[in-house]
Amino acid sequence: MTSPAIDRPTADEQTPVSDRLRRLIDGRVTGKSLEAPFYNDEELFALDMSAVFGRHWMFAGNEAEIPDPGDFVTLDFGPYSVIVVRDDDEQVRAFHNVCRHRGSRLLVDEKGSVGNIVCGYHHWTYGVDGELRYAESMPKDFDKSCFSLRSVHARSVAGLIFLCLSQETPDDFDEVADMIESYAGAHDLANAKVAAQFDLVENGNWKLTMENNRECYHCAGHPELSVNIFPVYGYSDDDLPERLKPAAELLRKATEEAVSTWGQLGLPYAAREELDTRSTGFRIEREPLALAGESFTPDGTAAVKRLIGDFPTAKIGRLGLHLQPNSWFHILGDHAVTFATLPISPGKTLVRTTWLVHADAVEGVDYDLEKLTTVWRATNLQDAEFVERAQDGTSNPAYLPGPYSPTEYQVEAFVNWYVTRLREYVDQAPA
């Protein structure tokens, strides 16, 4: 029996793009929020899945979520489900969660540990390297080597796992990965452990989740977070409102002190921002924190006694990282918080927040879970409310795209990055 010689790419097939969508993409007005269908239309959501999540590197989770061989997480987004697993050589691998027999979903749990990946339907059995090991009652000339799981590019960068569904990956990722390693490597996230994980389904489009995260224009709605950070994020001196001038002055002083600490510890801190000028858009910067300056806690003191890297002090502020299309990170001296945005449908998005601490930190001894998670749990719930209101309003027939404030320039950069990705895709697609 000859096996079908398919290893068709799953994400690279170009699907036709309708004239209606082409007109919407062509008609995008710079400096304004997107037209309503970008947030609530099924056909546009399918295009997002192909042109953005099917083509670009996306954040999937942390090495700390799968510490041992056989540990896995399944990641569902749009029509896709991907298994991220640590193989027997301790490498991070990723496969489409689809059986090569008749297509059954393989792993149904969100996380767990397996020796092999066994399909629950007719029990085809795959190794954690994706190779088909066992298939009962198939003909003698059945060639198992032709029915390995379909692989997905997976890469760990400073302990953060990224996936790319496309066979041809964006060629600038190495450069961005090196940059992330140089800033985040000292925090040793690859050897951290998960202290807590919080999944929140926001009733909004994934782009509203990302847009909301790219500005602090709404930070008055975050009383807990606002005392930890200097809520002047995104403002320039020219558009800084009077009410934020004291915070800007405190930030200036705290930065002076922090620069001295970062210099002594050899920690890179300069802002680097290429949000919409490359395929793998990013922003990174180390900044001081307010109050005690150590952590996201009600008084700013460290939440974890055992620090996450080999630092002599917890007072090293936060390393903030944004990556298009679906993630942001706060990496501190005592812990790190990672955020993955996973689209479910046009109007629903999963936001997964993960708190990482030193592998040897013990709950109840080195940290208190409530103190560690309270600020971002509250902030996430507040953001979910903002996103839901934006989804409601943009779905109202009365909605018209509105202008961004200068302090929302990173929202514009995100939208510009996104629309550029759609244009690239549409230029290659059949009508």
- CA atoms of 207 and 164, how far apart (whole Å): 19
Q: Is the dihedral of CA 347, 51, 181, 277 positive or negative?
A: negative
Which among ligand FES, Fe ion, none contacts residue 121 (Cβ within 5 to 8 A by kind)? ligand FES
- List strand residue ranges (DSSP E) for 97-219, in order: 111-113, 117-118, 125-126, 132-134, 151-157, 160-164, 192-202
In whole angstroms, how close is the CB of 197 to Fe ion at the nearest point? Answer: 19
Number of CB atoms found within 10 A of residue 236's CB: 10
Closest CA to 267 of 332, 190, 329: 332
Which among ligand FES, Fe ion, none contacts residue 272 (Cβ within 5 to 8 A by kind)? none
Which among Fe ion, ligand FES, none contacts residue 383 (Cβ within 5 to 8 A by kind)? Fe ion
Which among Fe ion, ligand FES, none contacts residue 122 (Cβ within 5 to 8 A by kind)? ligand FES
- CA atoms of 149 and 153, how far apart (whole Å): 13
Residue from 23, 102, 252, 389 touching ligand FES (CB under 6 A): that is 102
Which among ligand FES, Fe ion, none contacts residue 155 (Cβ within 5 to 8 A by kind)? none
Residue 308 carries which DSSP code?
S
CB nearer to ligand FES: give 104 or 416. 104
| 101 is a site residue for ligand FES (CB under 6 A) | yes
Residue from 124, 183, 386, 409 touching ligand FES (CB under 6 A): that is 124
Q: Tokens 């691998």 sit at which residue?
A: 93
- CA atoms of 195 and 357, how far apart (whole Å): 6
In whole angstroms, how close is the CB of 92 to Fe ion at the nearest point? Answer: 30
| Residue 62 near residue 184, CB atoms below 8 Å | no
| 194 is a site residue for ligand FES (CB under 6 A) | no
Q: How far is CA 372 from the centre of its chain?
A: 20
CB nearer to Fe ion: give 98 or 208. 208
**Residues 358-387 vs Fe ion: string with x where CB under 5 A?**
-------------------------x----
- CA atoms of 161 and 154, how far apart (whole Å): 7
In whole angstroms, how close is the CB of 125 to ligand FES at the nearest point? Answer: 9
| 80 is a site residue for ligand FES (CB under 6 A) | no
- Which residues in this chain contact ligand FES in the complex, by CB under 6 A? 99, 101-104, 119, 121-124
- Which residues in this chain contact Fe ion in the complex, by CB under 5 A? 383
